[in-house]
Amino acid sequence: MEHGMDQGVHKLPPQAIECEEEVLSALLLDPEVYHTTARYVSKDDFYREAHGRIFDAIGGLVESGQDVSMALLVQALRETDDLEASGGVAYLAHLIDVIPRSCKPEAQSRKIREMSLRRRMIAACSRGATGALDGRDTGETIASLETELAECRSAGIVDKEVYSPSDLEPQLRENYEKGQDRGFSTGFAQLDKLYRIRPGELSIVTGIPGSGKSSFVDSVACNLVQNHSWPFAIFSPENWPPERHLSMLLEKMVRRPWTRDEATTRRMTWDEAKGMSQVLEGFFRFLVPDEEKTTVDSLLAMARTEVQRHKIQGFILDPWNELEHKVARNQTGADYLSEVLSKIRRFAKMNAVHVWIVAHPHMLQKENGGYKPPGLYNISGGAQWYNKADMGICVHRPDYGRDETDIHVLKVKFRVAGSLGKGTLRFCQDTGGYL
């Protein structure tokens, strides 16, 4: 044995066979119990496959409104060729004779679920160990393992799934007295009624190339740093090298240009730049991974690390097309997009981080010699972008000869966070910021 690698290898996997039998026995005695147990377990949660098949067959009968008699259960299992694999008629008769030790199928279902989650965790860690031993890329192995464990954690949050009004009264009263959490201001008063930043939500930002959408997101980030001390992680390849991106953020914080240009206002001094850079030390982390580690899973793994190390509250992915997208052979593009956006939303919610994704439109519509403001449906895979977004934003400059920039709020999932509409900001050519 070295470093405990072999410890526990020969132990039986976590299981709760007695609970499985008692739950099935309870279901045969009172099929209505199924609606309680199904909140916690599914076919695949049972350690014995036979028990999973029987549970699934009982559920099918209950959901179709049929009686759960021995004859109908045997028939249902026979029709799916599961009767013999489920132990046959003799085993079903045995289950009827099992006397549950308690009348708490909910507690027993929780126990079955707990054992199932432990087995999933063991399997995930085993795959991670195999990847490490086989020389698989370390970043990919860690990202895959963290994703699987995060899904286990999410699946394990089943302590309370059904609430009565009395359960909710304390939170209800707090909301009544304090008001619902509207989140944080973007720092632009013109947008306060339209767009608020709430932890745990996902903002999708689009706009015609060159319209200033990246500058807008960076400006909001700087305002949140300045006004609310939010730490950020940023993946923004189009602004690499990272020192260039830092100089762009310094312009927005100092409100003076970085470059020397006689046509602009006074350039910031080195002391101003150095001093503000030191101020930002604890607030911005620039993610610059190797090219093969720019998948959604890898970047989320890096972001989780920054949550733990630096308590980030904001995460920017800019732009979406610079990520490495690995679509499985059996996946459609829409299925892949739905899956990865769900992962990002789950990350946001579980870590109370607001995530911004800057995504370029792929279809533009001409209007009066220019282009109409693109919507979320103009991004490739549009329906998924609209469905998954908590907030949808379009940054649009109707006239590039002028500094006015329209911020269109295209989607608001919860009205407490804003409303559909348009606010206008003034783009500052000297600093790339907004006023």
pLDDT at 136 over 50: yes
- Arithmetic mean of pLDDT, 381-402: 92
pLDDT value for 4: 37
* 151-172: pLDDT as tens digits: 777 666 555 556 778 767 767 8
Asked which of 3-12, 170-179, 217-226 is least confident by mean pLDDT, the reply is 3-12
- Give residue 369's pLDDT band: very low, low, confident or very high (50, 70, 90): confident
pLDDT value for 298: 93
- Give residue 230's pLDDT band: very low, low, confident or very high (50, 70, 90): very high
- Arithmetic mean of pLDDT, 382-408: 93
- Arithmetic mean of pLDDT, 315-329: 93
Asked which of 46-55, 163-172, 287-296, 374-383 is least confident by mean pLDDT, the reply is 163-172
pLDDT at 261 over 80: no
Cα 153 to Cα 54, 156, 310, 345, 373, distances in angstroms: 27, 5, 22, 15, 40
Asked which of 106-120, 159-173, 234-248, 349-363 is least confident by mean pLDDT, the reply is 159-173
pLDDT value for 2: 41
pLDDT at 236 over 80: yes
Domains of the chain: 17-155 (1.10.860.10), 184-426 (3.40.50.300)
pLDDT value for 167: 66
- Mean pLDDT for the chain? 89
pLDDT value for 428: 93
* 290-318: pLDDT as tens digits: 988 899 999 999 999 999 889 999 999 99
HSE of 133 in the Cβ direction (CA atoms, 13 Å)? 7
pLDDT value for 3: 38
pLDDT at 1 over 70: no
Q: Identify the residue with better confidence: 396 or 381.
A: 396
